[in-house]
Amino acid sequence: MIGVIPYPEFDPFAIHIGSFGIRWYALSYIVGLLLGWRYCLYLAKRAPALVKTIDLDDFLTWATLGVVLGGRTGYVLFYQFDLYSSDPLEILRLWHGGMSFHGGCAGVTIAMILFCRNRQIPLFAFADIVASAVPLGLFFGRLANFVNGELWGRPTDVPWAMVFPTGGPEPRHPSQLYEAGLEGIGLFTLCLVLDRMFKARIRPGIITGAFLIGYAAARSVSELFREPDKQLGFLIFGTTMGQLLSIPLLVAGLWMILRAKPVTKTVIA
């Protein structure tokens, strides 16, 4: 087919151990969480020292639970409620896939609020560090979507279009790669520039707010190329679920930036 890039044949399992295997999707979560944790530790040691590294060590478990429980709950409620309400046990079959970033974001947010309240940690300073690391997980997660041949884009005639195994015969946008670039590389760069060039962590909440606004924008743009979920289709005014769920993130991000105030107190990391 002229102008179409062949979709690579990927093994869905990254690691085979006898009859057991680790899928690329699961591995992306593991790598994203571990790299994100290490990057958080690195940021905490840089000025301004507002968060202790030991707290970030302990928060890794909380973050993992927030991502998994929140991501799964969000997918159940927003994307496949009818399916899971008819077969509640399917909710526990995580290996069948089905996670929502917006749900995971809510889960991690709740985890951060409880964790910081319990330890008397400045919430927005803590959130700025965590938000700076989130794009790492998003990058690997979107690459895993591409490897799985899922969440493909809308039909197109661009030269880099691909025919995905489960997407029918039409050439489609490799929208997973667009999202990896926008949500992963783009947002990581945004947070890095705000921290290094503008010293934004001196005003806790700015980086988190910028991340939320940036994600809402990146997701809304990428949804213009991504095929809507089959069971949902297009919603009000031709929007998608991903775009609608990004509106609260945009509002929250604006609020966080507007309420940000400079701090002078530091802690021993």
**pLDDT tens column, 6-45:** 899 898 888 888 778 888 989 999 999 999 999 999 999 9
Calpha distance 52→25 (Å, rounded): 31
Give the total number of structural domains in the chain: 1
Would 83 be classed as within a structural domain? no
Q: Is the pLDDT of residue 269 over 70?
A: no
Would 66 be classed as within a structural domain? no
User: Domain residues for 166?
Assistant: 24-54+122-259
- Please answer whether residues 218 and 183 qualify as being in contact, where contact means their C-beta atoms are separated by less than 8 angstroms: yes
Calpha distance 248→147 (Å, rounded): 30
Burial class (CB in 10 A: 0-12, 13-18, 19+), 234: exposed
Q: Give a three-class secondary structure readout of 48-73.
A: CCCCCHHHHHHHHHHHHHHHHHHHHH
> What average pLDDT is seen over the chain?
94
In this prediction the pTM is 0.94
pLDDT tens, position by position, 95-106: 777 899 999 999
- Please answer whether residues 200 and 207 qualify as being in contact, where contact means their C-beta atoms are separated by less than 8 angstroms: yes
Would 269 be classed as within a structural domain? no
Q: Torsions phi, psi of 126, nearest 5?
A: -65, -40
Calpha distance 34→136 (Å, rounded): 10
Calpha distance 73→98 (Å, rounded): 9
Top-confidence residue, 98 or 197:
197
Residues contacting 210, CB < 8 A, separation 6+: 190, 191, 194, 200, 253, 257
DSSP reduced 3-state for 23: strand
Would 60 be classed as within a structural domain? no
Would 71 be classed as within a structural domain? no
Per-residue pLDDT band at 83 (split at 50, 70, 90): confident
Would 197 be classed as within a structural domain? yes
Would 165 be classed as within a structural domain? yes
Would 68 be classed as within a structural domain? no
pLDDT at 92: 84
